[in-house]
Amino acid sequence: QSPPGHAPVGYMLFGRHIDDNIGFQSKGSRIVDYLRDHPKNIYAMKYTGWMKSLGWETVVNRTDQVVIYEAREVLARVKEEYLAGSLLIQPKHVATPSAAKLGPGSLPGTKDPAYASYAEMQRVAAKGVGLLFWLVEHYPQAKWVAGSIGSYMHNQSWEGYRVLLHVFMHLIQHPVAQRFGHPEVRSLELAGIVKQPLLGDGTADPRHHQYCDANVGEFKNRTGVVGMLGKSSYDNISQNQHVTSSESHTTEVMAAPTCTHRLIPHKMLMQEMHIHQADSTAVCMDSTTTIFVANNDASAGRSLWLRRRIRVLHSHSDSKDVVYTKIPEADNCSDMHTKYL
């Protein structure tokens, strides 16, 4: 106990954005009272329940012990602004097959009668793609298609615009947002190595691990990463690879260091927060050859640029920070960030 009038003994971790604070405290309310009462002497303050965070509607379900970030208000405005007057369908998939084959638009000349409508479409599409980039932060199922449409954001085609409207229709009909937490999660510490990330009941292992995958695309190859912690996906990546290759081994080897570079800072941050990560963190892949070259220095007789990427895998494998684990292709959820499914 601290003397009267002094700061209480304990800790509080909080994040700040403009004029909003979100905090987590140790046991006892004196810490909150202390931090709350002092700013009141200077600022006009109000206290409400946790309803929004950075524009996201925050749903705290205490029964299921989960927190859900969703954007139902934004999706309602999307329906009104982008889909008013359109024939609304209920698409089962978030993307269409044509999303993998999009190309740049062809803006007619200023004297062409079609110029005005095409230019207006591109203006509306650019705004819509920017909004979609924000939405996929907590609707990660649309990350791959958002990247495909966004590749031609500067010069959108009618087909790209139609795919964008398809994505909006899907999210409105199936607003499945990210959720964090699970009633069975009691600790986030990494005790032991994750061998197979899916448990017998079909749920995810609560310990920290990551999925990694890649795909040979028609125009560009794509890397997909899903970071898992506490039975929830906290990190989702879908990005183009800077090197073009026509065979899967090279694309998988290119993806693995990207996944590793995402994992290490997260692992170290949790360690600094005393969420101990003493054991190796699993990177789960369905590529046997990539796991082989990650653990065998003599296995890659490849070009210099690829060997540099492999050296990253060797370094973290040797240090025991990471272990590269083989999983069935059907269990690799990062596959959704690499291609149309």
pLDDT at 41: 64
pLDDT at 243: 76
Compute φ and ψ for 224, nearest 5 degrees: -125, 135
pLDDT per residue, tens digit, the chain (341 aa), is: 667 767 666 655 555 555 555 555 555 567 667 666 666 666 665 656 667 777 788 888 888 888 899 999 999 999 999 998 888 888 899 999 999 889 999 999 999 999 999 999 999 999 999 999 999 999 999 999 999 999 999 999 999 999 999 999 999 999 999 989 888 888 888 888 888 888 877 788 899 999 999 998 766 889 999 999 998 999 999 998 887 777 888 889 889 999 999 999 999 988 888 888 888 999 999 988 888 888 776 555 566 667 788 888 888 888 899 999 999 999 999 999 998 87
pLDDT at 40: 65
Among candidate residues 321, 311, 237, the one with its CA nearest the CA of residue 271: 321
99: Cβ–Cβ under 8 A, 6 or more apart, which residues?
Answer: 144, 145, 148, 149, 163, 340
Would you state the torsion angle of the CA atoms of residues 227, 185, 324, 234, taken in this order, to the nearest 10 degrees? 0
pLDDT at 20: 56
pLDDT at 311: 85
Q: Helix (H, G, I), strand (E, B), or coil: what is residue 179?
A: strand
Q: Kindly report whether the global pTM for this prediction surpasses the value 0.95.
A: no
- Answer yes or no: are the C-beta atoms of 99 and 145 closer than 8 Å: yes
Q: Helix (H, G, I), strand (E, B), or coil: what is residue 25?
A: strand
pLDDT at 118: 96
